[in-house]
Amino acid sequence: MSRSAIRRWLTSPLAWDLLLGVLVAIWSALFLRLFWPGRVNVDIANQYLQATGKIPYSDWHPPVMSAVWRILIDITGDPGSLLLLQVGLLAAAAWGIGVLVHRSGAPRWVSLLGPTIMVTPWVVSQMTTLWKDTQMAVAILLAVVLIMITRFLPKTWLLRLPALALLVYAVGVRKNAVFAVVPIAVYGGWCLMQLWRNRRGRSGDSAATVSESPETSEPTADAAKEGRPLLLTAVSSLIVLGLIGGGVKVTDAVIASQLGVTKTGQISQIFLDDVMFSVPDAELRKSGAPKELTDHISSARDKCLEKGEIWDSYWNCYGRGTTGKAFSPIAYQDELKSLWLNEVVTHPVSYIEYRTSVYSSYFFTSKLEYWEADWDGDAQRARLPAGSAKADYIFRPYVEDFALGTFPMLFKPWFWTLVAVLLLGLEYRSRSRTRRELNASAHRPRSFWPEITVLAASALCYIFGYFPIVPANHFRYTFWPALAVTFAIVLWLAQRRIQQVRILGP
């Protein structure tokens, strides 16, 4: 190749895409080396023991995550393979965002923000640990990126299949992920509807073209044309949501039949908290529930209040389940459910007061922003290989001393809620201007507003969906909103730069 040809190739979009991939790969390799095989708490250690066949499978934690870990260990022989999957999903999403932003006409410095997201302190803090929350978040994010690709490049429609599988996995590893997935299902349905309309447009439907002009269309025709896309989007969204829900059901059924998953009634933890802290002791005694259960709840409540805890009573003061060991089922589950239905649901004011107090603590505070290597007792008991303690000397000051100490709002749900609301406000403000531009020109410029909207809406739905179930104020419960809003900010910056270039010129 001549020097000019080499120079042209080095400045080509493909070369820049490869550079973004190299940056993502270098950071991923460094991160994996430092944190291999991944940080572990008691929940993750329990899932590892299931994955390696040391203990029977149960549904206290999502069996699909243990099953995937088992497959990865069978293939690689290394428990760190789950961390590799976790980092790989985020790396693919970060690279995909960078490429999409670059190929859409935004400056190259904006596309660099895609890979840069991987090194932000709030992302580093959770990627070190094999939380099911982190697995859920990276799976949802990559699914959104894949759907984005199919929207911009219709011939890539096959990517909808892995996107669907990722959403099924996300809901499988954390059932309340359904709150985050509903807006994404609507987005997926909208993309299907847009694809259908584009194909009809290419077939030469002149009536549809005329009706889109506000000067020539009749009011009745306009109403019909406005209503039809909404109906199609609603139907398509329900189909996508049904496919996700059906996939979760089928996956759980297959895993249960193959691995013999024991049911533990883990939802009883929520019933226990609600009954313990929202039902007065006098009402509890008069409920007719077994005396052993009411006595246990009453004494445990006193212990929790002495410790200043008003949630997560299973772990904080109740003594866990029937055996006293972690993840053992609570006794009298049917009676506890009856107590919840008869004493909690029928007293909504007390319930809302209790849930508001718990949710306020979650919404405005946080903890467990970084899992240190010294907290490896559960990993040792599960015989997991020890990770490098050097990583803490590098990253703990970055996450805790710098980010958490200087900008504590970055780890609080209220902050990401506020930013998500601002993004939705900006989307609403730009909608009328975008419509005017589309009416004035036959050219449809590429826009990231649908993705910005869906990421912000998903973050909000997930945060607000914790109101009836939040068990603690761990930052891992806020990781998906933080990740989603961060990517939405990158897309917003790209959108602004694209609009400026279109208006002012390069």
Give the number of other Cβ atoms within 10 Å of residue 415's Cβ: 20
Check pLDDT > 80 for residue 264: yes
Check pLDDT > 90 for residue 463: yes
Q: Tell me the per-residue pLDDT of 383-412, one tens digit each, with 9 for 90 and over.
A: 998 888 899 999 999 999 999 999 999 999
Confidence of residue 218 (pLDDT cuts 50, 70, 90): very low
Q: What average pLDDT does range 141-167 have in this prediction?
A: 93
Amino acid, single-letter form, for residue 495? Q
Helix axes 178-202, 132-152, angle to 10 degrees: 10
Query: Can you tell me the distance from the alpha carbon of 156 to that of 147, in angstroms, rounded to the nearest whole number?
Result: 9
Is residue 225 within 8 A of residue 208, CB to CB? The reply is: yes
Check pLDDT > 60 for residue 222: no
Q: What average pLDDT does range 441-465 have in this prediction?
A: 86
- What average pLDDT does the structure give for the chain? 89
Q: Count CA within 13 A, CB hemisphere, residue 112.
A: 5
Q: What average pLDDT does range 325-349 have in this prediction?
A: 93
Distances (CA, A) of 113 to 20, 108, 150, 449, 458: 10, 9, 22, 17, 21
Could you tell me which residues come within 8 angstroms of residue 191 by beta carbon, excluding any fewer than 6 positions away?
147, 150, 151
pLDDT of residue 385: 87
Q: Which residues pair with 367 in a beta bridge?
A: 474
pLDDT of residue 10: 62
Q: What average pLDDT does range 367-395 have in this prediction?
A: 90
Q: Tell me the per-residue pLDDT of 66-101, one tens digit each, with 9 for 90 and over.
A: 999 999 999 999 999 999 999 999 999 999 999 999
Check pLDDT > 70 for residue 207: no
Our CA dihedral for 255, 258, 260, 264, rounded to 10 degrees, sits at 10
Give the number of other Cβ atoms within 10 Å of residue 13's Cβ: 11
Q: Which residue has the higher pLDDT, 225 or 38?
A: 38
Instruction: List the structure tokens of 256.
Output: 């249960």
Q: Which residues pair with 262 in a beta bridge?
A: 58
Q: pLDDT over 70 for what percent of the chain?
A: 87
pLDDT of residue 6: 61
Is residue 309 within 8 A of residue 316, CB to CB? The reply is: yes
Is residue 22 within 8 A of residue 374, CB to CB? The reply is: no
Output phi, psi for 407, to 5 deg: -125, 70
pLDDT of residue 203: 57
Is residue 316 within 8 A of residue 304, CB to CB? The reply is: yes
Residues present in the chain in total: 506
Q: Which residue has the higher pLDDT, 502 or 26?
A: 26
Q: pLDDT over 90 for what percent of the chain?
A: 72
Write down the pTM of the prediction.
0.91
Q: Which region among 14-23, 215-224, 258-267, 418-427 has the lowest average model confidence (pLDDT)?
A: 215-224
Query: DSSP readout, 133-181?
Result: HHHHHHHHHHHHHHHHHHHH-GGGGGGHHHHHHHHHHHHHH-GGGHHHH
Query: Can you tell me the distance from the alpha carbon of 184 to that of 154, in angstroms, rounded to the nearest whole number?
Result: 18
pLDDT of residue 388: 84
pLDDT of residue 437: 57
